[in-house]
Structure 1
Amino acid sequence: MKTVGIVVEYNPLHNGHVHHAREAKRAAGAEALVAVMSGPFLQRGEPAVCSKWARAEMALAMGADVVLELPSAFAVQPAEWFAFGGVSALHATGVVDALVFGSESGDIAWFRRLAALLAEEPPALKARLRERLAAGASYPAAYASAAAALAGGPDGSELAQPNNILGLQYCLALARLGSGIVPLTIPRRGAGFHDTAAQAPSPAAEAIASATAVRRLLLQASGAEGLAAAAPYLPPYAAAILRREWEAGRGPMDWERYAAPLFHLLLSRPPEAMRGIAEIGEGLEHRFRQLLPRLDYSRGGRIEQLVEAARTRRYTRTKLQRALTSLLLDRRKDELTQESLSRGVPYLRVLGFSGRGRELLKDMKRKASVPIVTKAAKAEQDELPLFGLDLRAAAAYASAMPVPDAREIFRDYYQAPLQTESAGVARPR
């Protein structure tokens, strides 16, 4: 069967994501959909608002046929490695024919032309990138400017748009892997990636807000009120799953729940040990510690205060959040080397599948180029590279839930992939 792949976070799944999935199948002429989804912690270095299992359940209810977890080693990374991890997972399945991503550009020829030019990272690109970084630009801005200059573009503003950045990196990853997967793009619809406010829903059209805006609605009020405010922008099954998670004490999750363990680590870890943590260096280990006594502990938002105080042109919010996530999860530089990441995902972790996905998994077991994981204990016993990072991330995430539960902390060990026969709420096997 013809199969399309998408790389997602679903934090949480909203109406815009439903549109993307529907259009991905249409654009690719596909019967089946494989979603590679981030786990508990996300690309911008923040905890997901609800667990990966709840988000996988939303994806299956939407109509995804197989949901795979993007390993933590790739999920909490700059765009280049996040995209490479997602694409390498789709490539490793052996069954995906096309990759569809949303973009501000909507022009796949533009992406493919740029990818062909930049795939080998020509010296001119590296030189201009170093020049822009030395001038104090953030890495995303520096890369966009350098790539645009090399391609003869104006100022890199189009490449600096977040979905265009990811789209280019997806195409670069396909080129570097020599993958036969065909890239396709659809224009991003509705709210922008960084829009923090949701527009009032129109009765004539499906209400679409950015995931950022939806999370703000969910978190700005108490559980029921937040859900009611976000509900117009969510498919009914996603709203129902969130309500169940909140009532069970498994959410909503945000950075503030991790303030105590993070501050303990920042104060107790020697600077030389912190320098071994991914994303920490250039004095950041001292900067965090120096700022801790200056926070206003009489009000909330302690992590937000720390990130805001530490921000500079070089230390963007996203980089600081990824550094804090790496510290929390003990993500070490010697684990996450360029050499280890450039091999792509070393396994495919199945979070859930549909009836059609069951047939697709049978095909994957014959064609996949890496092991397929359905049981965490077996994968840990087999000592699969980087898998321990996923287990640490899941346990750390669950330990800060509003109602901590040992079953949630160790859920990865006993939870079988979720199953659904057709579009509808998934059930544990």
Structure 2
Amino acid sequence: MKTVGMIVEYNPLHNGHVYHCQQSKIVSGADAVVAVMSGSFLQRGEPALVSKWARTEMALRMGADLVLELPVAFSTQPAEWFAYGAVSALESTGVVDAFCFGSESGDLGLLQSAARRLHATDRDAPYAKAGAAGDEAALASPADGAMPFREAIQAQLKAGASYPSAYAAAAAGTVLDGDAPADWLAQPNNTLGLHYLVALERLGGTMRPYTIRRQKAEYNQTDITDERIASATALRKLLADSTDPAALRPYVPSYVADVLDRELRAGRAPVGWESLFPALFARLAVVHPKELAEYGEVTEGLEHRILKAVTEVRPDEGEPFEQLLQALKTKRYTRTKLQRALTRILLNHRKDELTPDALRAGVPYLRVLGFSDRGRTLLRTMRKTASVPVVAKAAAFRHRFLDLDIRAATVHATAFRQPTRRDLYRDYYEPPIRLTETSPD
């Protein structure tokens, strides 16, 4: 059975994702789809709109055959580590022949050329560097004999650029082909695609990569300009403004609107930073600056800036988390960087836990969230081919990264209207979701 992999978040799943899934099967000639999906917290440092189980149901009904959870140790990292963990998960299955990702350019050749150049001249970065994972400044610091690419990033950072801007500018001058547009890596899906391909090189992976050009809506686009396609960012905004899943129906499959409606009625959605702010505030109210500095991505004195800013928040005057972000944002500290730092604080992710040494081996297990009938066949094969344990029951497996996943899901559930014990510890109760008949729209 030929199988294609996808790396997803589905926050929420929309018509653009359906197109990606369909095209991934077509371009790869695959019979089955394996999705590696972020769990309760996502790459941009945000809590997922709905639980990982609700999003797994969406994915299976769309046509995915097997959904695996990307551990939160990787899912909330900067792009390099996020991509490395996700690609390692697909490789570790032993059953995925190809993987397909979306990009703004749709130009696989240009991405592969840049990835090979970067890997050939920067083999030890960032994974062999000292320092804490998620510390972008540390990842960018050149080691002895570092290539011009890393030196160029550091120069951009010292000039006050954000890490994404510094990375794009450095790549444009060192590893990109001369005919690539100067702002090519300022586009987020192009950048993430490059990191997927670099990860494949560093892992010595055998999967064949494909890319599908992103259609009609940009990654962070907040307005809706098409009758059927809108970004997940725009859909979350639309849902926040209307609180009615019916408003999303033109842009999502009917089963997604149904799942969202069910989760909203049950008080399990929408989850966002504002609903988790009380828990974050409780941590910040008692933490010492030295302790705060021990959390991932809290660097260069950011701990003092955070503790000062949180005292200026006025919870009775609008959205307190947004107030905190606006007080913290600078040219250097982007919204995403700050959200990831605050995620680390909320989830108690310390630098000494998530070091490069801890992460560079890739995912240490494959957590199964759901499967179709075809996915069940894949699972039987995976139990023979997978290079790491396949985990169907969280209670039956122990690993510190899995403990982080379980704790993240518990924290996520505290944002529900009236969380039950089962909600808070659902990882221990919930078997993988099994869909006996997929029904894509």
Q: Could you state the TM-score of these two structures normalised by the residue count of structure 2?
A: 0.92
Aligned equivalents of 2:396, 2:199: Cα separation in 1: 30
- The one-letter code of the counterpart of 1:143 is Y
1:16-415, aligned counterparts within 5 Å?
16-119=16-119, 120-121=121-122, 123-150=147-174, 151-153=176-178, 156-199=182-225, 201=227, 207-222=228-243, 226-380=244-398, 384-415=399-430
Q: Check whether the contact 2:57–2:370 (CA below 8 A) recurs between aligned residues.
A: yes
* 1:385 Cα offset (Å): 4.0
Q: Match for 1:309: what amino acid?
A: A
Which SS does the other structure have where 2:311 is aligned?
Answer: helix
- Distance of 2:353 and 2:44 partners within structure 1: 20
SS in 1 for 2:437: coil
CA distance in 2, matches of 1:402, 1:24: 38
- Asked if the contact 2:114/2:177 (under 8 Å) is kept, the reply is no
Q: Supply the AA of the counterpart residue of 2:168.
A: A
SS in 2 for 1:353: strand
Whether the 8 Å contact between 2:25 and 2:31 is mirrored in structure 1 is: yes
Which amino acid in the other structure matches residue 411 of structure 2?
A
- Residue of structure 1 in register with 2:138 after alignment: none
Residue 179 of structure 1, CA deviation? 0.5
C-alpha spacing 1:67/1:12, structure 2 compared with 1 (3 Å): same
Q: Hey, what does 2:132 align to over in structure 1?
A: none
Q: What corresponds to 1:4 in structure 2? A: 4
C-alpha distance in structure 1 between counterparts of 2:404 and 2:370, whole Å: 20
Number of residues paired by the alignment? 414
Q: Distance in 1 between matches of 2:113 and 2:311?
A: 50
Q: CA deviation at 1:50?
A: 0.4
Task: Tell me how far apart the structure 1 counterparts of residues 370 and 73 of structure 2 sit (CA, whole Å).
Answer: 20
Q: Distance in 1 between matches of 2:376 and 2:310?
A: 50
- Superposed displacement of residue 156, structure 1: 3.8
Could you tell me how far apart the structure 2 residues matched to 1:424 and 1:408 are?
Answer: 27
d(CA) in 2 for partners of 1:220, 1:259 = 19
In structure 1, what is the Cα distance between the partners aligned to 2:427 and 2:439? Answer: 23
Shift of 1:232: 0.9
Tell me by how many angstroms 1:180 deviates. Answer: 0.6
Per-residue deviation, 1:126: 1.0
Q: What is the CA distance between 1:249 and its match in structure 2?
A: 1.0
Alignment correspondent of 2:129:
none
Q: Which amino acid aligns with 2:283?
A: L
Q: Would the aligned equivalents of 1:104 and 1:164 in 2 still touch at CA under 8 Å?
A: yes
C-alpha displacement at 1:403, in angstroms? 2.1
Which 5+ residue runs of structure 1 have no aligned equivalent?
Answer: 202-206
Q: Please give the alpha-carbon distance, in whole angstroms, between the structure 2 residues aligned to 1:90 and 1:136.
A: 36
1:204 aligns with: none
Deviation by residue 1:245-272 (Cα, 9 ceiling, x = unmatched): 1111111111111111111111201111
* 1:68–1:348 contact (8 Å) kept in structure 2: yes
Q: Secondary structure at the match of 2:99?
A: strand
State the TM-score, normalizing by the size of structure 1.
0.94
Task: Give the RMSD, CA atoms, in angstroms.
Answer: 1.3
Contact 2:40 2:409 in 1 (8 A): yes
1:378 and 1:43 mapped to 2: Cα distance? 27
| Superposed displacement of residue 422, structure 1 | 2.0
Report the Cα offset of residue 291 of structure 1.
Answer: 1.3
How far did 1:185 drift? Answer: 0.6
Deviation digits for residues 342-399 of structure 1, max 9, x if unmatched?
Answer: 110000000000000000011111000000111111113xxx2411110110000001
Q: What is the distance in 2 between the residues matched to 1:407 and 1:111?
A: 44
Which sections of structure 2, spanning at least 5 residues, go unmatched?
Answer: 123-145
Deviation at 1:404, TM superposition (A): 1.6
Paired with 2:37 and 2:349, the residues of 1 have a C-alpha distance of 19
